[in-house]
A and B are shown apart, each in its own frame.
Chain A
Amino acid sequence: MKLSRREFVGGSAACASGFCVPGVAGVALAGAPTEADCIVFDLGANCVLPESLQGYREALNAEVVVAALDARRWQHRSGLVIVPGAGIVNATEASVLLELLDGGTTVLLESGGAFLDPKEMTAQQQMLRTFFDLSVLEPVELWSDHQCAPYVQYHWPREIMVRDFSRAIPVVAPGAETIGRLDGLQVAIKKLFGNGLLIFLGSPLGPALRAGDREARAWLQALAAAI
C-alpha cells in the first residue's frame, strides 16, 4: 500500500483540523486512524533530520497504517510511536510521549542531537534527563580515526548490523537494557517506562531506511513484529 499525495494531504488536513495533539503533527498514511498500530511523530522544526522521518515513513508504508496522532486514542493501547531525528523536544511534546508510555505504547525516540549546536544539545540532554531519566553524553565523531565503516551492532529485537551515521550519542539509563553498541559505546537502549517501553537510539537509523538499507529495514520490521 503506497501513500499517495492525496492521502498524505488528507492526513495533513486531518491534523490541521484538530485531529492531532497540539504542537505535534502526525504523518498520516491511508487507512482508518483508529486501526493504526504505528505512527511517526513529526516534530516539525524540532526534527533535526527530516530525511530520517521520511525514512521511517517510507519503510513502514507497506505494512503499517499510520494515523494522525491523537493521544487520547493512543494512551490505552499498545502500538509503536516513532520520533525521528529528535532535536529539542519541548515540554508539550514530551508530555504527550509520557502519556503514550503510560498508556502502554512503545516509543522509539531517535536522537538527532549529534547534529545540534552545543547549546541545543545541552537542552536536549536536560529534556531527556528530566522527562525520561536518560543520560546522554556528548556526540562522538566516528570517522575521525576510522579505517572502515563502524557499524551499530544491534542485539534486539534481532541481531543485526546497521551502518553508522558519522556521529553517535552514547546513552546511560538506570534499569535500561543495551540493545545496540557501536565501537564499544552504548548507543541504543530499551527500558520499561510507565506501562510502555521506551527505546532510545543515539545513532540515527532513519536515513539508512531512506537509503533503502536492507538491515535497517529488517531491524525496524523486527521491532514492529516484537511489539
Chain B
Amino acid sequence: MKKSIGDNMIPKGSSFEQGLELVKKAGYEGIELWLGDVPWFQMNTTDAQVTELRRKVENAGLIVSNVSTGLHWETPLSARDPKVRAQAIRIVEREIEAAQLLGCDAVLVVAGLVTEEIPYGEVYPRCVEAMQQLAPTAAKAHVKIGCENCNSEQRFLISPREFWTFLNEVNSPFVGLHLDVGNIHDTGFAEQWIEMHGPRITRVHLKDPVRKRGRCGDQPVYTNLFLGDNNWPAIHAALKKVGYDGWLIAEMEWRYKFALDQQFYDTSVAMQRLIDGRM
C-alpha cells in the first residue's frame, strides 16, 4: 500500500509547490488533488494548467493518487432540479478528465445527499441513474469512480449491504467504493465494509473517529490515527485479507492548531505503521 494526503491539507498561505515539498519530505508517495477546494484546482482550471499541476507533482517526486471533490455537497447528483443535476454530472466529468491529464485512475464522488427536503426514495434512483450515465465515460477514460461512504453526513447508503446493493444496481466495474474508514463511526465497522466490498474499493481515506459523538455539536468527531476508536489492527487485517494494495489517503479533518506541518509528519508515521502492521 502507498501513502497519500490531500492537497486541501496544505497549510493556508503555502503555495502548491511548498505544499508538495512538505508532502514529499513527510514521507508520502502521492497527493490527492481536490477539485474546487483549493485555489490551484478549480472547475475553470484549464487542461494546460492541470497538466502543469502534474508536472509540479512529478518534479516534487510524487504521484497524483486520485482526484476528489467536495463540490457535490453544494451541487448534489440527487438534486430535484435537473439543471443542478446536470452541473453535478459535469463536475464528475471534469474530475475524470483531470484524472486522465494527471495520470491517475480514480476519482471520488459524493453520490447523493438525503436531506429533510429530498427524501431517500428520490435520492436513490437519481444516484443510480447518474452513475449509470457516468459509467461509460469512466470506462472510456479508464478511470474508476469511487462513491464515498459519507454515512451520517450524507444520510445515504449507510450500511455496507446497502452500498453493495447500490453498486450492483449501477452494475459497472468502473463504479466502486471510495472507502472512508473514518466516516463509519457509530454506524458500523470499517473492517466489515472492507471485507464486503474488497475489489470494489477504489481508494481508502484514513482518519480516526471518536465514537458516541455527534457532528452537529461542537465536539470534534475525528482525531489523529490511533487516537480514536477505529480498530486499526482489524482494518489492517481486512485490507490484507481482500488483497487491497492501493492508495491510503490521509484525510485529517481536525487540524493542528500550531506547527501545522507536524500533522503531515505524525500522520505519515502512523500510516506507515498501519501499512507495516506494527500496532
What residue in chain B is nearest A150 (Cβ atoms)?
Answer: B117
Residues on the B chain within 8 Å of A166, using CB? 80-81, 117-118
Q: Which secondary structure dominates where chain A touches chain B?
A: loop
Q: Does B116 contact A (CB under 8 A)?
A: yes
Residues on the B chain within 8 Å of A49, using CB? 82
Q: How far is the CA of A207 from the CA of B124 in the complex (A)?
A: 12
Residues on the B chain within 8 Å of A207, using CB? 80, 122
B234 → A minimal CB distance (Å): 37
The answer, among B83, B121, B126, for a CB contact under 8 Å with A212, is B121
B109 → A minimal CB distance (Å): 20
Q: Does A115 contact B (CB under 8 A)?
A: yes
List A86-115 residues whose CB lies under 8 Å from chain B: 115
Q: Are A211 and B125 in contact (CB under 8 A)?
A: yes
The answer, among B83, B118, B126, for a CB contact under 8 Å with A115, is B83
Q: Are A211 and B122 in contact (CB under 8 A)?
A: yes
Interface residues on A, range: 10 to 19
Q: Does A3 contact B (CB under 8 A)?
A: no
Interface centre among A51, A143, A148 (most CB of B within 10 A): A51
B126 → A minimal CB distance (Å): 7
How does the 8 Å CB contact mask read for B119-132 relative to A, with 1 for contact and 0 for none?
10110111001000
Residues on the B chain within 8 Å of A210, using CB? 122, 125
Q: Are A143 and B121 in contact (CB under 8 A)?
A: no
List B90-149 residues whose CB lies under 8 Å from chain A: 116-119, 121-122, 124-126, 129
Q: Given A115-B82, A165-B80, A166-B80, do A149 and B126 touch, yes or no (CB 8 Å)?
A: no
B128 → A minimal CB distance (Å): 11
List A33-82 residues whose CB lies under 8 Å from chain B: 48-51
Q: Does A159 contact B (CB under 8 A)?
A: no
Q: Does A163 contact B (CB under 8 A)?
A: yes
Q: Does A213 contact B (CB under 8 A)?
A: yes
Residues on the A chain within 8 Å of B116, using CB? 148-149
Q: Are A50 and B121 in contact (CB under 8 A)?
A: no
Q: Are A115 and B119 in contact (CB under 8 A)?
A: no
B187 → A minimal CB distance (Å): 23
Q: Are A211 and B121 in contact (CB under 8 A)?
A: yes
A100 → B minimal CB distance (Å): 27
Q: How far is the CA of A213 from the CA of B119 in the complex (A)?
A: 10
Residues on the A chain within 8 Å of B125, using CB? 51, 210-211
Q: Are B83 and A143 in contact (CB under 8 A)?
A: no
How does the 8 Å CB contact mask read for B62-95 relative to A, with 1 for contact and 0 for none?
0000000000000000001111000000000000
How does the 8 Å CB contact mask read for A193-213 relative to B, with 1 for contact and 0 for none?
000000000000001101111
What residue in chain B is nearest A210 (Cβ atoms)?
Answer: B125
A117 → B minimal CB distance (Å): 9
Q: How far is the CA of A165 from the CA of B117 in the complex (A)?
A: 8
What residue in chain A is nearest B122 (Cβ atoms)?
Answer: A211
Q: Are B82 and A143 in contact (CB under 8 A)?
A: no
List A162-200 residues whose CB lies under 8 Å from chain B: 163, 165-166
What residue in chain B is nearest A163 (Cβ atoms)?
Answer: B119
Give 5 closest A-B pairs by Cβ, nearest first: A211-B121, A211-B122, A143-B117, A166-B80, A115-B81
Q: Given A51-B126, A115-B80, 19 other A-B contacts at CB below 8 A?
A: A48-B82, A50-B82, A51-B82, A51-B125, A115-B82, A148-B116, A149-B116, A163-B119, A165-B80, A166-B81, A166-B117, A166-B118, A207-B80, A207-B122, A208-B122, A211-B119, A211-B121, A211-B124, A213-B121
**Can you give 19 contacting A-B residue pairs, CB < 8 Å?**
A49-B82, A50-B82, A51-B82, A51-B126, A51-B129, A115-B80, A115-B81, A115-B82, A149-B116, A163-B119, A166-B80, A166-B81, A166-B118, A207-B122, A210-B122, A211-B119, A211-B121, A211-B124, A213-B121
